[in-house]
Structure 1
């Protein structure tokens, strides 16, 4: 199972947002917790990453901060306490002609429903990576392209924004994996991993707990207990959630009719799919698709 491919694929169930931030003088901001994955790229200047559980981490030009599962965090000109920072003002800002102490590119996939991928939830709350842009010039190019996409209003922004955020997320996760080695993704029980692989690869299959437990070589009760402990929800609840993630991806990325999408993710009718989708995301599949196809927004 390609973890990074799955992580990015599940994030596409949300919508990509991005904005540029310039700060001068004493500055600080707190980003409340949200459902999704986000990152900050320091374009120039320096500052500090502030989190609730860890000591402040120094940031310099070129550093990237990843909030893998939307944990609350802050950025500031000086080390401090997270709760002391003001909540970041969302939306676009007027251009400030003064020299900036720091310039950052902030982006996120915010999920309207569902949950962040299992592997992202296992990451530390916030991560700093310091890329070697000599070894990874493509990462610098992607940051520059996203910066242009954010600062210049052009046609097709809904397509370019998502594509660039996808690629940046892939590269940042690769860097983290290179730095951490086997510790990047905490190990999952082999029996649970086998069940997850089948669910992810064939969500349209009418799986039962009995079938999955046999595949795992365990009793139904033992399998359910172990799966729930590792993943955070029972097997059937996870299966439904994954089907909804795949359905949201197909709604966002294809023009396939709802009946076809329903069949691809294991529902016998468009109605059954719509009921399950509304329960998970709070909106009908049709409304979700229309909203997903609207022009891209800035972060916030």
Structure 2
């Protein structure tokens, strides 16, 4: 299964937005933690990525991936994160010339649920310096996204989300190329990899820890321990999250009834599916479906 494609489908159930910030305050901008994922692309000038580790110098073309919405800041000089002014989504930033740096923000906000496990397993903040000579398509996509954000024209509701998806795909590919991993999770044990493949491809099956351990060819206790270590969640917790993430996509992307979605994601009844979905997302499947994702250029973190 193509995990990058799956994560793109998952983040699509939330709202997406992009904003070009040309005139940040001289003290920089701090972005609060949020449920979702996003990226910054430095378009002009230099700055520093401020997180909870050492500051990282950034130059034009560098990309910052906030894989699961961690708090962070961009500043013209290294400083403590708490000393950077908080960015208010939707606020008009004061214009001051010349700006010390400019950057493009792209974000997927998940109003219900959390970022996919794929992204939560990555480092909270990833700074990349792409090789644009080897990957000119990424430069072209960034230029298109910048142009689309700068001129809000008819059709932007379709083009912007598509461009955000394409840029995120390219950023994840760059990360995997740099990190040396061909996919996620980076599971050394072939048995755990086999169990994950079954969960991803056949979430509708009546899985138990025992049945998954048989797929893995491991004793049940050893399987549970190895799976949790490799993936970050126990087997049944991971299975539930995957099932309901797929259900969320079906609710948003199709008009299938709840009764038909339930068995596709491993629930014997509509009632059981609805109860599990409400526990995971905080709303009923019906309400989730009738509150479609939005695309906004202002409310970006």
TM, length-normalised to structure 2: 0.88
Query: Deviations for 1:111-165, whole angstroms, at most 9, x for unmatched residues?
Result: 2333333332332221111223333222122223322333344455444333222
1:124 paired with 2:123, answer yes
Q: 1:287 to 1:151 in 2, by over 3 A?
A: farther
Q: Which residue of structure 2 lines up, in the alignment, with residue 134 of structure 1?
A: 133
Tell whether the 8 Å contact from 2:19 to 2:297 is kept in structure 1 after alignment.
no
Shift of 1:292: 2.0
Moved over 6 A (4+): none
Q: 1:215 to 1:45 in 2, by over 3 A?
A: same
What SS is found at the alignment partner of 2:22? strand
Query: Which position in structure 2 is the counterpart of 1:216?
Result: 216
CA shift at 1:296, angstroms?
4.1
RMSD after superposition = 2.5
Deviation at 1:68, TM superposition (A): 1.4
**Structure 1 residue 186: Cα displacement:** 6.6
Question: Matched residue of 2:180: which SS?
Answer: helix
**Match of residue 85 from structure 1:** 84
Larger mean CA deviation between 112-121 and 188-197 belongs to 112-121
Matches within 5 A, 1:4-23: 4-23=4-23
Q: 1:270 aligns to what?
A: 270
Q: Tell me the residue number matched to 2:34.
A: 34
Whole-angstrom CA distance in 2 between matches of 1:150 and 1:94: 16
Given the two structures, how large is their TM-score scaled by the length of structure 1? 0.89
Worse overlay, 245-254 or 85-94: 85-94
Does the Cα contact within 8 Å between 2:31 and 2:73 map onto a contact in 1?
yes
Shift of 1:73: 1.2
Structure 2 gap ranges (5+): none
Does the 8 Å contact 2:30/2:73 carry over to 1?
yes
What SS is found at the alignment partner of 2:18? strand
Given the alignment of the two structures, is residue 168 of structure 1 paired with residue 147 of structure 2, yes or no? Answer: no
Asked if the contact 1:107/1:299 (under 8 Å) is kept, the reply is: no
2:199, 2:247 → 1: CA distance? 14
Distance in 1 between the 2:108 and 2:76 partners? 26
Deviations 1:202-234 (A, max 9, x none): 111111211111111122222222222332332
Counterparts of 1:53-64 in structure 2 under 5 Å? 53=53, 55-64=54-63
Question: More displaced, 154-163 or 193-202?
Answer: 154-163
Equivalent in the alignment of 1:242: 242
CA contact (8 A) 1:19 1:92 kept: no
Unaligned runs of at least 5 residues, structure 1: none
SS of the residue corresponding to residue 248 of structure 1 reads helix
CA gap 1:267/1:162 in 2 versus in 1, 3 angstroms: farther
Equivalent positions of 1:146-225 (< 5 A) are: 146-182=145-181, 187-188=186-187, 189-225=189-225
CA distance in 2, matches of 1:184, 1:263: 28
CA distance in 2, matches of 1:256, 1:47: 48
Q: Counterparts of 1:298 and 1:242 in 2: how far apart (Å)?
A: 30
Distance change >3 Å, CA 137–CA 241, structure 1 → 2: same
How many residue pairs align between the two structures? Answer: 299
- Tell me how far 1:295 sits from its aligned partner: 5.2
Partners of 2:6 and 2:180 lie apart in 1 by 18
1:170 alignment partner, SS class: helix
